Amino acid sequence: MSVVTRSGTGPVDAPVVPPKVLRQRRMRPGLLGLAVLLIALGGLGAAFAVTSVRATGTYLAVARAVEVGREVGADDLVTVQVAGGQGLSPVAADRIGEVVGKRAAVSLTPGTLLTMAQLTDDPLLGSGQQQIALGLPPSEVPARKLSPGDEVLLVTTPDRNSDSKGPGTRFEATVIDTATPETGSVVVYLALANRDVPAVVVLAAQKRIALVLTRAA
Q: Band the pLDDT of 121: cuts 50, 70, 90.
A: confident
Residues present in the chain in total: 217
Q: If 0-12 CB within 10 Å is exposed, 13-18 middle and 19+ buried, where does residue 151 land?
A: middle
Could you list the beta-strand ranges (E) of the chain: 3-4, 12-13, 56-62, 77-83, 103-104, 119-120, 129-136, 151-156, 170-179, 186-193, 209-215
pLDDT of residue 148: 87
Q: Band the pLDDT of 53: cuts 50, 70, 90.
A: very low
pLDDT of residue 182: 79
**Highest averaged pLDDT of the listed ranges 1-5, 54-58, 88-92:** 88-92
pLDDT exceeds cutoff 60 at 11: no
**What is the value of pTM for the model shown?**
0.58
Q: To the nearest whole percent, how much of the chain has pLDDT over 70?
A: 70
pLDDT exceeds cutoff 60 at 22: no
Mean pLDDT of 16-32: 56
DSSP 3-state percent helix, strand, coil across the chain (nearest 5): 25, 30, 45
pLDDT exceeds cutoff 60 at 210: yes
pLDDT exceeds cutoff 70 at 21: no
Is residue 138 within 8 A of residue 208, CB to CB? The reply is no
Sign of CA dihedral 167, 168, 172, 174: negative
Helix (H, G, I), strand (E, B) or coil at 50: helix
For residue 188, which phi and psi values (nearest 5 degrees)?
-110, 120
pLDDT of residue 50: 47
One of 3.40.50.620, 3.90.1210.10, 1.10.1750.10, 3.40.50.800 is the CATH number of 56-120, namely 3.90.1210.10
* Mean pLDDT, rounded, of the chain: 79
* CA distance to 61, 89, 128, 145, per residue, from 84 (Å): 16, 12, 47, 39
123-176 per-position pLDDT tens digit: 778 889 999 999 999 999 999 888 888 999 999 988 777 666 667 789 999 999
Residue ranges, comma separated, of all CATH 3.90.1210.10 domains in the chain are 56-120
pLDDT of residue 202: 93
